[in-house]
Structure 1
Amino acid sequence: MNTKFKHSEIVILPEQMEHHNHGYNQVVIGLSGQTEFDIEGYGNLVCPGQGCLVTADSEHAFSGLGRNEILVLNIPVSQHSFEETYGYLQPSYAMDRVERLFDQSSYFHLDSQAQNLINALTVEMTAHPDDLLLSKACTDTLMCVLQRHFKPLASDRHSARLNMDIVDQYIIQHLTRKISVTQLAGQVFLGESQFHLLFKNQTGVTPHQYVLKKRLEMAKQLMEESQLSLAQVAQSCGFSGQSSFTQAFSRLYGMPPARFKKNNV
């Protein structure tokens, strides 16, 4: 992200991971697409309606996953730095609000009311990108909104558990196509590495192994309940071809799908 200090700005992150630190606090809010952040070793995805808090001088890395836009609010850390930046003193109660906000969890999500306001403000910012007064007003407004609508994603990263109902629903809905770990992680608003670790701890298998088993379970069900050919079953369950389907099915069930289908006619 641009290290030149601005009140607020709309940014597109590059796909290549970058990292840095800076001497001011930063609020990042997802507007479109997906971005990935790692703040002092704590990784997560930031999607529309989610965001993260980057405290001053903390090491953080970030990248965009395809097309994306984020809203960045840059917040001075003290009265002295605020006066140097803006030329006037920030009221003490406002600085207290900033301190309380940045004492909270790094990652958060926002309710629909806050999201609607953010969308309206970013429309104005896009239409008037050089209006510094508007930029400052948007930052002040959103800092007040965050105090009231801030909802931490997880207070304890070590005890967090995945909502497997959400993961399973996504897998079932997309069985006919390739499913990546990044896509699964995005459903529960986590970074790929954190999702992979939590998933393995919770299920005992990797996401790839889990998805493969779901494909084979669906294939087994189709062979029991439909008249589809083996090639059609393989295609319906997202396998690249009948050969890869046969190999995977035989490893899990101890017999090739042709024999299984024959036994269940």
Structure 2
Amino acid sequence: MNQKRLRRPYLEAIQSIKDYIDQHPLEIKTISTLIHQTHSQIGINLLHQGFRQLFGTRIKEYEIRKRLEAAANLLMQDDLTMQEITAKCGYSAQSSFVRAFKDVHGITPGQWRSRYVPLPLQEAC
């Protein structure tokens, strides 16, 4: 991709969309919805190019990473079952969730919970 210097309104729009993803990681969104929710005035193609230029990743990859970071927090703090967390994160199949979680964190959600949740909380789950 050509490294173009983005104008200020586009930089602000891209940052606003990133901030929205950060603040709503478990919300499943389309690119059009992100643009609409943040009241951004940016085209989809420019958003894709600019996001990758600024943050070094595609929007969907960033969104998935944030969703799985939120999943890690749910595993540590909540007494939700693995199926409930899977559904909350937008996955219909637990195997897909486990695979995606492992891609991001290097271990399965079960291993994460065993490693990072204190024993009294694990027994309650």
The TM-score, its normalising length taken from structure 2, stands at 0.74
User: Matches of 1:236 and 1:248 in 2, distance apart?
Assistant: 14
Instruction: State which of 2, 8, 20 in structure 2 corresponds to 1:169.
Output: 20
Q: 1:174 and 1:251, CA in 2 relative to 1: closer, same or farther beyond 3 A?
A: closer
Structure number with higher strand proportion:
1
Q: 1:182–1:191: 8 Å Cα contact kept in structure 2?
A: no
Q: Extract unaligned runs of 5+ from structure 1.
A: 1-156
How many correspondences in the alignment? 109
User: Matches of 1:170 and 1:253 in 2, distance apart?
Assistant: 19
Q: 1:249–1:256: 8 Å Cα contact kept in structure 2?
A: yes
Which residue is 1:255 aligned to? 107
Which residue is 1:205 aligned to? 57
Deviations 1:65-97 (A, max 9, x none): xxxxxxxxxxxxxxxxxxxxxxxxxxxxxxxxx
Instruction: State which of 75, 80, 90 in structure 2 corresponds to 1:238.
Output: 90
Matches within 5 A, 1:55-94: none
User: Matches of 1:166 and 1:193 in 2, distance apart?
Assistant: 14
Amino acid at match of 1:168: D
Amino acid at match of 2:56: G
Tell me whether 1:159 sits opposite 2:7 in the alignment: yes
Which residue is 2:34 aligned to? 184
RMSD: 2.3
Which of the two has higher C-alpha Rg? Answer: 1
Q: What stretches of structure 1 move > 4 A for 4+ residues in a row?
A: none
User: Matches of 1:222 and 1:165 in 2, distance apart?
Assistant: 25
Q: How far did 1:240 drift?
A: 2.9
Which residue is 1:194 aligned to? 46
* Larger RCO (CA under 8 A, 6+ residues apart): 2
Deviations 1:121-163 (A, max 9, x none): xxxxxxxxxxxxxxxxxxxxxxxxxxxxxxxxxxxx7333135
Q: 2:71–2:85: 8 Å Cα contact kept in structure 1?
A: yes
Q: How far did 1:174 drift?
A: 6.5
User: Matches of 1:223 and 1:248 in 2, distance apart?
Assistant: 15
Identity score, percent: 27
Q: 1:162–1:199: 8 Å Cα contact kept in structure 2?
A: no
User: Matches of 1:209 and 1:170 in 2, distance apart?
Assistant: 11
Instruction: State which of 52, 57, 79 in structure 2 corresponds to 1:227.
Output: 79
What SS is found at the alignment partner of 1:239? coil
Structure number with higher helix proportion:
2
User: Matches of 2:81 and 2:69 in 1, distance apart?
Assistant: 16
